[in-house]
Structure 1
């Protein structure tokens, strides 16, 4: 059925005006706006661009040439920013002080005109910023603005403009402005499948920013001063599409996209299928865009279901170049079950082999839904290539000089490189021989004490000095030299890789004394990685517990971020549940693993002055040693809990999809109960032995937590357990386990048990599995959760091992409930 736009363009204009009046907007810590060549400040859409003379303190140039378009035949409608320009006859740099590291816009404005013998339309030049090439061999005959975003990691940004040989360069205006940290996340999917890691460290160039179904949204009506252009000229078959507008319906939900993600004038308009009241319509709406060959692109799809009257009406597929990238998308289910809640999807394409990119949306009708599909907005951003360039294969500090004029220089560079290689080879052989000689003397690994939180560390001597070997447990707080880590991992032998995560690769290794270790090597340019690196060291330097993976040391030489842990022989809990072909574990073994992990988390929550919230509890972060003892690992996202007089910590949402506490996601308020929720998902994962999110399954089964909770609430949990456990779990044990998991997954944190309560119930479920307890008066009840929490909560200060063997020592044939309670409560028995 064909819809007509429900809001006129008059109302749309008023909405845009209201946005500019009432939007809170983002206030950037750094904001440099320069009108190059201008003698006075210029105000454009509410923003003030400084006169060139006021910006001279940022500039280093061989010659001052300030140009004006006055009298040069420029039309009266040319933007004020393009009426003046600065001309550069040699290499020029702008240096800006950066008050807050993070991603920043760099916007360059070019509008060529003739001035005093200089023809800007024939200019050819390059522009670089820090480690990235933004433009090379650039020229233009028309007005254009180039927008880039870089993740700045130092206190100074240097932008270099380099004219080509026998040419000039020019610039009409320049912006350097901070961006919100949440705008570009490091969680995009990469085509054809998988997760893309490293967006934080990439330079991006905005190629297209499109407002589907609506008019141009100018920079003055966007909180981040972006311009969104209409989509009509990009449609492949405009007759297959129709526009729809309902800006007033847009509902920004806490925890979801904000006005900074995209304004309501984008989310409130869309292009949808023109199905013309035909329930048998089956076609895609397609747009085509020009892109540069040889680059990957970050494609951000903006969605907002402003067309449906009720939830779960709209289902559709999303395509890039005819490949389905999102199937059976139901905006209701991903947008907090709220109509018209904004939502976006980030995808990174493979390296482009064509100069055209097609984006499509089409219907999903397998479930009988009416054929329709929408798209509200689209952004396409180019990622820098392997040499740090957004413009061809030119490296940093591009030079436009022709090859003919640089033959001598190239020859000199080649000779210099060859000499450097020879010297490097000789130096390598010398260092290798010296390292071997030192190793034979027991001096190859030099340890430097680690200082945490600004405290003073005291050198305790080399681990290998005087032939004394210090135990692994006492090595905490020591720093490895990079050469020692190389030796331990056989120079980071790829065949020694035992895992790959968001932080980096994990290698198995062996120290000189035979101690086996796991070596996690991070990306030193990743801001997220640096934060995780510091957090991991700070957290694990404070805690020692039997059920927490021990940190042996770290290395930060040569811009490396390396963490060295005790080696866990049996890998992750996840690998023993599904996907790896390893033998299935018995129900008793699984319960013992869950109990061990619960002890570790309970210690985190209660064993220190302030609770520590793990924030990334999942089966992949529960590791198993040679005896299948469970230990919680990966504290890179951990957060110190609230103060005594507070109920939560307000923080950006981080974690793993499928395990994430929905209350934390909605409110961005973190508590220990967020870990409890994630652990509840792990419990069902252990029971069912399947991924927590599996998009290949029917809709009702995709999310494990939702699916398992439905069966638990029907009292039929046995219907979905791991088939290898069928007939091997005592009903009472299964019932107690299911009740515990259900409590963990309560919608609100206040309704969830503490980790101490969870631990008690898991231990009880194990006893119910190991022995029949006659006359249990409460066996169908959950009211025992919390009854013993005062006693349980007292064993957080040290590694208190509540071993199941204590119960096995009793006569299990005639064990009564009173005996079970007495052994659990008696602190001396622990």
Structure 2
């Protein structure tokens, strides 16, 4: 069901319970509004939760591609208020949104069921319960060993899954088995947990026992410092040689901390061809002034006495940031943002509005998606600074950046940020600071003489 709203407040009845919120942004020039890369800094709240603060879509988006941010939250009562607030720190700032989706989720898909002890909190010696007072931000959803799965290829929830190639840091060489003939038996978990395609592809260490003993199959994911994270690992033993408990037993580490010493998917799931997932919570503590750190997932074979095959397997994974005191926001004005999902689809441009709250209310039976295709702009009315004709010394206008700052700004020279390729090298577009001047960063080819 698709609804279009151009009014200040749009009431749609909602039932209480967990909701999935997807926000669509398409940063471009709209009507007479200022360049969004300089002025569109704003915050977004969902009832008591702050989802975004001092957010600028242009700093995170790939040019000409819609940007999507995804969250989970519980709704109590009959109303969900989404509030968009322009940043008070930017003159003439404004907020915008192109589309909003709200989906009713199964009660126990991520949140801890009543009476359940929760999930292991790695290295804390306790169990972590994900209650109704927590919100989640989707950081990564990965089809390990498989291809990118678009939202329309997902089962039930219309989530997008990326491939794992860009996050794989240690794999020598690793193997990508596929079994398209298997029909996964969803007897241990619900069928909407992940699409079938996630469970018929995987990545393993390979069959070289000697080599497998000496390395860990490792993925690394940049995340914000100072938050707890919910990690879901998806498994399905589909290789014909794995038939019984003890055939493939391995170790799992998160952020270099032991999560499992004897992971046996056949024992966990109940047999071959049966999908299963295992959940964990892990803390990424603040470390100096580092805004981002890596959340690593590493697999290593168990000792030979415990396993027939010295190997490990992973089919898929999900990583969510967990709110701190109703707050999901990381450091303000981050230059990079891994927690986004890009889709190539048209975005509807709608009329200009000057409201600060979008209210969503609706009875939802099963899975009903309400998409609000909007373009709501919130203009901040304040006096502009008078032109200052005072000469500025060159030392004040010629900024210097360290190699580390440049690599951070370009996400280690991510190809998604390339705007031009020339004979001498590639040009990356980024921003020098919050809402200020865009900068071109040119990386010279090896051997280039200047």
Specify if TM > 0.5.
Answer: yes
Q: Which residue of 2 aligns with 1:283?
A: 215
Q: Decide whether the 8 Å contact of 2:224 with 2:330 is kept in 1.
A: no
**TM-aligned CA deviation for residue 359 of structure 1:** 0.6
**TM-aligned CA deviation for residue 197 of structure 1:** 2.1
Q: Decide whether the 8 Å contact of 1:297 with 1:349 is kept in 2.
A: yes
2:273 aligned to which of 336, 340, 343: 340
**Structure with higher RCO (Cα < 8 A, 6+ apart):** 2
Structure with greater proportional helix content: 1
**TM-aligned CA deviation for residue 393 of structure 1:** 8.3
Q: Which residue of 1 aligns with 2:36?
A: 120
Q: Which residue of 2 aligns with 1:139?
A: 56
- Equivalents in 2 of 1:226, 1:274: separation in Å? 30
- Equivalents in 1 of 2:324, 2:48: separation in Å? 12
Matched pairs, number: 311
CA pair 129-400 structure 1, distance change in 2 beyond 3 A: farther
Q: Decide whether the 8 Å contact of 1:282 with 1:363 is kept in 2.
A: no
Q: Which residue of 2 aligns with 1:575?
A: none
Matches within 5 A, 1:505-516: none
Q: Is residue 191 from structure 1 mapped to residue 114 from structure 2 by the alignment? A: no
Q: Decide whether the 8 Å contact of 1:120 with 1:170 is kept in 2.
A: no
Q: Decide whether the 8 Å contact of 1:302 with 1:342 is kept in 2.
A: yes
Q: Is residue 158 from structure 1 mapped to residue 85 from structure 2 by the alignment? A: no
Gaps of 5+ in 1: 1-47, 61-93, 406-830
CA pair 300-280 structure 1, distance change in 2 beyond 3 A: closer
Q: Which residue of 2 aligns with 1:239?
A: 172
CA pair 392-234 structure 1, distance change in 2 beyond 3 A: closer
- Equivalents in 2 of 1:117, 1:335: separation in Å? 57
Q: Which residue of 1 aligns with 2:310?
A: 371
- Equivalents in 2 of 1:280, 1:177: separation in Å? 43
Structure with greater proportional strand content: 2
Matches within 5 A, 1:67-82: none
**TM-aligned CA deviation for residue 368 of structure 1:** 4.6
Q: Which residue of 1 aligns with 2:283?
A: 350
Q: Decide whether the 8 Å contact of 1:252 with 1:258 is kept in 2.
A: no
- Equivalents in 1 of 2:200, 2:186: separation in Å? 14
- Equivalents in 1 of 2:330, 2:44: separation in Å? 13
Q: Which residue of 2 aligns with 1:544?
A: none
- Equivalents in 1 of 2:135, 2:295: separation in Å? 20
- CA-to-aligned-CA distance 1:670-728 (integer Å, 9 cap, x gap): xxxxxxxxxxxxxxxxxxxxxxxxxxxxxxxxxxxxxxxxxxxxxxxxxxxxxxxxxxx
Q: Decide whether the 8 Å contact of 2:146 with 2:201 is kept in 1.
A: yes
- CA-to-aligned-CA distance 1:25-46 (integer Å, 9 cap, x gap): xxxxxxxxxxxxxxxxxxxxxx
- CA-to-aligned-CA distance 1:601-629 (integer Å, 9 cap, x gap): xxxxxxxxxxxxxxxxxxxxxxxxxxxxx
Q: Which residue of 1 aligns with 2:100?
A: 174
**TM-aligned CA deviation for residue 221 of structure 1:** 1.4
**TM-aligned CA deviation for residue 109 of structure 1:** 0.8
- CA-to-aligned-CA distance 1:373-412 (integer Å, 9 cap, x gap): 01111100001002x1101489xx9x999xxx9xxxxxxx
Q: Decide whether the 8 Å contact of 1:318 with 1:361 is kept in 2.
A: yes
Matches within 5 A, 1:139-538: 139-141=56-58, 142=61, 143-165=66-88, 166-186=92-112, 187-192=118-123, 193-222=125-154, 223-254=156-187, 256-276=188-208, 278=210, 281-309=213-241, 310-312=243-245, 313-336=247-270, 338-353=271-286, 355-365=293-303, 366-386=305-325, 388-392=326-330
- CA-to-aligned-CA distance 1:189-242 (integer Å, 9 cap, x gap): 112122112434310000000000000111111120000000011010343322
**TM-aligned CA deviation for residue 308 of structure 1:** 4.6
Q: Decide whether the 8 Å contact of 1:282 with 1:371 is kept in 2.
A: no
CA pair 200-374 structure 1, distance change in 2 beyond 3 A: farther
**TM-aligned CA deviation for residue 49 of structure 1:** 4.2
Larger-gyration structure (1/2): 1
Q: Decide whether the 8 Å contact of 1:279 with 1:371 is kept in 2.
A: no
CA pair 355-280 structure 1, distance change in 2 beyond 3 A: closer
Q: Decide whether the 8 Å contact of 1:294 with 1:352 is kept in 2.
A: yes
- Equivalents in 2 of 1:260, 1:368: separation in Å? 31
**TM-aligned CA deviation for residue 95 of structure 1:** 4.9
**TM-aligned CA deviation for residue 280 of structure 1:** 6.3
- Equivalents in 1 of 2:82, 2:25: separation in Å? 16
Backbone CA RMSD of aligned residues: 2.5
**Where does structure 1 differ by over 4 angstroms across 4 or more consecutive aligned residues?**
277-280
**TM-aligned CA deviation for residue 121 of structure 1:** 2.6
Q: Is residue 129 from structure 1 mapped to residue 46 from structure 2 by the alignment? A: yes
CA pair 101-277 structure 1, distance change in 2 beyond 3 A: same
Gaps of 5+ in 2: 113-117, 287-291, 333-356, 358-377, 385-450
- Equivalents in 1 of 2:162, 2:174: separation in Å? 17
- CA-to-aligned-CA distance 1:300-327 (integer Å, 9 cap, x gap): 1111112252212111111101111012
CA pair 203-280 structure 1, distance change in 2 beyond 3 A: closer
CA pair 374-368 structure 1, distance change in 2 beyond 3 A: closer
- Equivalents in 2 of 1:200, 1:346: separation in Å? 18
Q: Decide whether the 8 Å contact of 1:308 with 1:314 is kept in 2.
A: no
- Equivalents in 1 of 2:221, 2:250: separation in Å? 21
- Equivalents in 2 of 1:305, 1:229: separation in Å? 21
**TM-aligned CA deviation for residue 56 of structure 1:** 3.3
Q: Decide whether the 8 Å contact of 1:224 with 1:260 is kept in 2.
A: yes
Q: Decide whether the 8 Å contact of 2:206 with 2:212 is kept in 1.
A: no
Q: Decide whether the 8 Å contact of 1:257 with 1:343 is kept in 2.
A: yes
Matches within 5 A, 1:718-729: none
For residue 378 of structure 1, give the secondary structure of its aligned residue in structure 2: strand
- Equivalents in 2 of 1:280, 1:274: separation in Å? 7
